[in-house]
Each structure stands twice: as structure tokens, then as C-alpha cells.
Structure 1
Amino acid sequence: MKIKAVSEQYDIPADTLRYWERVGAIPAVHRDSAGYRDYDEEDLGWVSFAKCMRGAGVSIEYLIEYITLYPGGERTHQARKDLLTEQLEVIKRHLDEVQETYDRISEKVAHYDDHVEGAAKKLTR
């Protein structure tokens, strides 16, 4: 699959895909005989992984570190798992913060009309 199709399928600018590859946030993409990027299923898996991680707020530096370790196979298994565990904890903290914000706004919305009505009554006194 060519870069334009990957860009459209994953809603990622082609320049971003090139950047991710250039800095090592995804492994080098397979090339066709003319030297053009030709994404295979493995490449698409890495694009999907990177998009998911970036969407969760994971840094490019983290992705680079993970991708650098990946070719080490079993030897780097624990280091990669540790990185994922660390990121999971960061995302969990963020999720908790978002949930707290959601709950506060939800509470405000649920009682908004009562608050507005109460404020209006105070103004008319």
C-alpha cells in the first residue's frame, strides 16, 4: 500500500508518516523496486501502534526507544514490557484526571437549570 493510501486509511498526514520513519518511531517501511514506500501488513501494524500510542499522549521519544529495543527479541522482552507498563500507568493517571473532570462537568450539567433558576431568584429579590 502506498503512502497516500495509508495516510487516508489512518487519517495521518503523509509527512507525519515520513517523519515517524525518519526518526525511528516506526521501523523502516518496505520499499518497492523504484524505492517508493510500499507498506505491507507489518508496516501497517506499526503505523496503527504508533497512532494509538500518540493518541494516548505517548511521546515520540518513547516510541523510538521501544522500536530500538524491538529487534532485540527475547533479550529485550522485559525492557519493552517495562516501557509499556510505565506508559500504562501514565495513561491511567491521565484517564483518572479526565474521569474526574467528566464527573464534575456532568454534575454541573445535571444541576445547571437549578443553579440558574436560583441565581435568577436572587437577582429579582
Structure 2
Amino acid sequence: MVTTETRAKTLGIGEVAERTGLSVHALRFYEREGLLVGPVRRTAGGRRRYAPVDVDWLLICVKLRESGMPLADLKRFAELVRRGPGNEAERLALLDVHRRRVEEQIQALEECRSVITRKVGVYAEHLARGEAGGLWDPTA
């Protein structure tokens, strides 16, 4: 239960949603799925109260999910963190696999950007010369 003293140090679900960019619904989902590293405290009335460390953890989770970490991997990572010291090598391995996956995605996006940049150059050049008619014209 949350006392008056702890309430001053904790945040409500709306405040946490604001700070993390997650919706209230997503925060409840994260809790249900076991993605938090500690239990969410509750007031006598049953309202969730989050500690600053919960917000810090959620910000990490947000970045891992935004970067494409599968939910199963995020659950595993949270489970390892909850267990405490002694499994750092396993955490590192999980994060390293994800880092490599992100690097591959970045490489693929850079290749896409290169193609787009070339096409922008072609169109800009043709438009500047007044010769844009017929570029990729499927009716020609």
C-alpha cells in the first residue's frame, strides 16, 4: 500500500503515460505482460503508483520496442533483470542480438535512402532543365 510519504515520491498512471509516451492502456498491458521489473504499488483505493525507477525502466522498454525488439525478447530481458545479479551474460547476449538486428535495419534503411536520394536528384535535374515529361511514364 502507498502511504502519504511514498505518494509524494511516486507518480500516477497518467503522469507516467505523459513521461514515457505510452498510453494508459499500454502501461496496463506492460504490467499484465510482466514487462515491469517490480510490482506496481497501489493506493488504498487501488490506483497505480509508479516509482521513478519504474519510469526509467519503461523508457528503456520504449526504446527497445521502438527499435523492433520482439515482445518475447523484452519479456525475457525483464525477467532476467527481475531475477537480479548473476545473469548479466545472458542479458548481454539478448541485447547484442537485438543490436545486430537494429544495425541490419539501419543498413537496409541507408540503402533505401540512397535510392531515394538518387531519384530525387534525377527528378530535380529534369525539372530544372524543363525535361521532366516522360519520367517513369507508364503510358509512353
TM category (shorter chain) comes to: 0.7 to 0.9
Q: Quickly say closer, same or farther: Cα 1:121–1:56, change in 2 above 3 A.
A: closer
Root mean square deviation, CA, Å:
2.1
Q: How does 1:78-117 map to 2 (within 5 A)?
A: 78-115=89-126, 117=130
Select which of 24, 32, 41 maps to 2:34.
Answer: 24
Secondary structure in structure 1 of the residue aligned to 2:85: helix
Offset at residue 11 of structure 1 (A): 2.1
Q: Does 1:9 align with 2:22?
A: no
Identify unmatched segments of 5+ residues in structure 2.
1-10
CA distance in 1, matches of 2:18, 2:52: 16
CA distance in 1, matches of 2:98, 2:20: 22
Secondary structure in structure 2 of the residue aligned to 1:62: helix
C-alpha deviations, 1:59-87, integer Å up to 9, x for none? 11111101111133332110001000010
Aligned to 2:5: none
> How many aligned residue pairs are there?
123
Secondary structure in structure 2 of the residue aligned to 1:99: helix
Identify unmatched segments of 5+ residues in structure 1.
none
CA distance in 1, matches of 2:133, 2:56: 56
CA distance in 2, matches of 1:121, 1:105: 19
| Percent pairwise identity | 24
Question: Using CA pairs below 8 Å that are at least 6 residues apart, which structure has the higher relative contact order?
Answer: 2
Offset at residue 119 of structure 1 (A): 5.0
8 Å CA contact retained: 1:4, 1:14: yes
